[in-house]
Each structure stands twice: as C-alpha cells, then as structure tokens.
C-alpha cells in the first residue's frame, strides 16, 4: 500500500501520510516521495494550494526510528533534508491538518505551514533531547520565536508535549475542531485559497517570509550537521535501541 497518497483536485494538492499501523512514522523512502510530490506541486500550474494531512487518530510519530538506525541520512541530498528544504521554501500556500500525536518532525514541519487546523485530540511534542538528538527544521529558531523562550525550553529541553489548546493559544494552529472534521476543514480552506489570485498569494507569502528565509536555510543546514553527527553517538544509539527493544533508555554513560 502507498504510504504517501497524493491527489490533485480543484487546485489543491492533498498529500496524506498513510502508514497508520506505524503511527505515520516517516522513513527515508517516504521523505523522498514527500519531497518529490512537493516539488511536483510547486511546478504544476494547476496546483494553487498544498495540504499535508494524516489520519484522524495520528498525524505522525516523526522519523521512523528503526529506519533512521539502519539508514541514517548521510548528506544534504538525503531525502529528509530534501523534504526540509521543500517545506521551508515552499512558495505556494501550505496547509496542514493535525490530529492525535505529532512527534518530532510531525510538529516541527508545522512551523513552515501557513495554516494549521487541529483536532481536539492533537498532541504536539519535540522530544529530540530524550532521543540524544537536537532540534531540526529550524525549530531552534522558530519554536522560541513562536512560543516564547520558556515554553520552547519546556518543549525542546524537557521534551514536554503540549495539546491543541496550548498550540492554538501560542499561534501554532489556526482553529481546533473535532478530529473527524479536520481533513474536510483543511481541504475547504485550501479550496478557498485556490480560488484567490495565485500571483497575490505567492507575493504575500514571499513578503511575509523573505526577511527570515536566509537565516532559516542556514539554521536547517547547521542543525542537520549536528543532528547527523549525534545520530551515531552513544546517546542516540541507546535511545533508539531502547525504543526498538521497548525498554527505558539508560543515559548514564552518555
Ligand atoms: N518509528 C518507528 N516505529 C514507530 C514509531 C517511530 N517513530 N512510532 C511508532 N512506531 C511503531 C511502534 O513501534 C509500533 O509498532 P509495532 O506495532 O510493530 O510494535 C506501532 O508504531 C504503534 O506504536 P505504539 O507506540 O504502540 O502506539 P501508541 O499509540 O502507544 O503511541 C506514539 C503512539 C506516537 C506516542 C508512540 O508510538 C511514540 O512515542 N513513538 C515514537 C515517537 C518518536 O520518538 N519519534 C521520533 C522523533 S525524532
């Protein structure tokens, strides 16, 4: 079964994470398809808005830990980095519908979306430190900026999750609805955007984003270099091994 579904209709490219049995954990192969689909959506003149969605029970458990262990991203051309560049530089309106857990990149990718609609079951977390890793997707800039430093520190240093109401209050999501209504709402909002003049949408998004764009690109590369190094260090090996073996990690040696 396709783990990434895409559908282009009425000016909206809808991309669906479709690996619910593994909580929509994202493998290198899935990042590759996501990056290619975003590139295709950007290039296709019939696409005027892009939606990224999961299932009403789960958005994404983040990086697939077993795949990361066996197949770590080695270079800037790795699928995960291609995906990060694609979402962070996406010129067209990018919307997300989020229900249930949104872990790691499941949360950090949302910092790059223009509109985010959440189910009241949405639970956001960025547990990079708990995995012996560091933030990615420029979340080390964007989380403190959006959430305020203290809340970002609770999320990024302690790895504390936050729920839909907190995400709404801090401006990470635009509206909360029952989980069964999220994907319909996000598609409706995307269609609304698709009916507007594309040149105005593109210019407005570019103007809102351009001042920070170089810093974001540079930070994604910096974080990626540190993250890549940390993946092979003892703390991450222990955290990932513990997840696969379904036990608590022991960081006393790292
Ligand atoms: N990578 C690989 N597999 C994952 C995964 C991940 N990130 N997240 C979940 N899975 C798999 C589980 O191993 C399990 O597989 P199995 O049925 O073969 O045993 C299956 O998905 C269901 O996960 P489970 O943990 O039983 O579901 P849950 O509803 O109890 O919890 C989560 C859901 C998302 C809260 C939990 O799975 C989780 O915390 N996952 C890890 C998140 C993470 O640390 N991501 C990395 C960020 S960099």
> Does the pLDDT at position 205 exceed 90?
yes
pLDDT score at 192 = 98
Neighbouring C-beta atoms of residue 118, cutoff 10 Å:
31
Task: Give the pLDDT confidence of 33-80 residue by residue, as tens digits.
Answer: 999 999 999 999 999 999 999 999 999 999 999 998 888 888 888 999
Share of the chain above pLDDT 70, in %: 100
pLDDT score at 71 = 87
Span 122-127, mean pLDDT? 98
Quote the pTM value: 0.97
pLDDT score at 76 = 84
Task: Give the pLDDT confidence of 235-249 residue by residue, as tens digits.
Answer: 999 999 999 999 999
Structure-token match 């051309």, residue found: 77
64: CA distance to ligand 1 center in Å?
8
Distance CA 117, CA 86 (A): 21
Nearest CA to ligand 1 atom 21: 22
Which domains, and CATH codes, for the chain?
A: 4-176 (3.90.226.10)
> Does the pLDDT at position 1 exceed 90?
no
DSSP state, 154? H
Cβ of 25 below 6 Å from ligand 1: yes
CA-to-CA dists, residue 117 to 26, 49, 131, 194, angstroms: 21, 15, 28, 17
Cβ of 131 below 6 Å from ligand 1: yes
Nearest to 68, CA basis, from 246, 244, 221: 244
Nearest CA to ligand 1 atom 22: 22
User: Could you tell me the sign of the dihedral formed by the alpha carbons of 59, 62, 65, 66, in that order?
Assistant: positive
Task: Give the pLDDT confidence of 129-140 residue by residue, as tens digits.
Answer: 999 999 999 999
Distance CA 92, CA 112 (A): 11
DSSP state, 13? E
Ligand 1 atom nearest to 22, measured from its CA: 21
Distance CA 251, CA 254 (A): 5
At 103, which helix (H) or strand (E)? strand 101-103
22: CA distance to ligand 1 center in Å?
6
Cβ of 101 below 6 Å from ligand 1: yes
> Does the pLDDT at position 175 exceed 90?
yes
């Amino acid at each position: 079964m396709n783990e990434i579904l895409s559908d282009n209709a009425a000016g909206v490219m809808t991309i669906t994470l479709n690996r619910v049995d593994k909580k929509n954990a994202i493998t290198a192969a899935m990042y590759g398809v996501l990056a290619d689909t975003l590139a295709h959506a950007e290039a296709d003149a019939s696409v005027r808005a892009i939606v990224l969605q999961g299932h009403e029970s789960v958005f994404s458990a983040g990086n697939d830990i077993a795949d990361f262990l066996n197949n770590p991203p080695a270079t800037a051309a790795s699928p995960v980095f291609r995906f990060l560049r694609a979402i962070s530089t996406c010129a067209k309106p990018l919307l997300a519908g989020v229900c249930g857990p949104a872990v790691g990149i499941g949360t950090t990718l949302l910092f790059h979306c223009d509109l985010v609609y959440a189910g009241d079951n949405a639970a956001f977390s960025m547990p990079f430190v708990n995995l012996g890793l560091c933030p990615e997707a420029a979340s080390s800039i964007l989380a403190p900026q959006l959430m305020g430093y203290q809340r970002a520190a609770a999320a990024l240093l302690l790895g504390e999750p936050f729920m839909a109401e907190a995400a709404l209050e801090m401006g990470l999501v635009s509206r909360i609805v029952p989980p069964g209504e999220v994907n319909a709402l996000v598609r409706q909002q995307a269609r609304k955007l698709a009916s507007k003049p594309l040149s105005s949408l593109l210019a407005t998004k570019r103007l809102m984003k351009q001042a920070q764009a170089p810093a974001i690109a540079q930070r994604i590369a910096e974080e990626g270099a540190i993250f890549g190094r940390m993946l092979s260090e003892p703390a991450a090996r222990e955290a990932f091994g513990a997840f696969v073996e379904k036990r608590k990690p022991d960081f006393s040696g790292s």
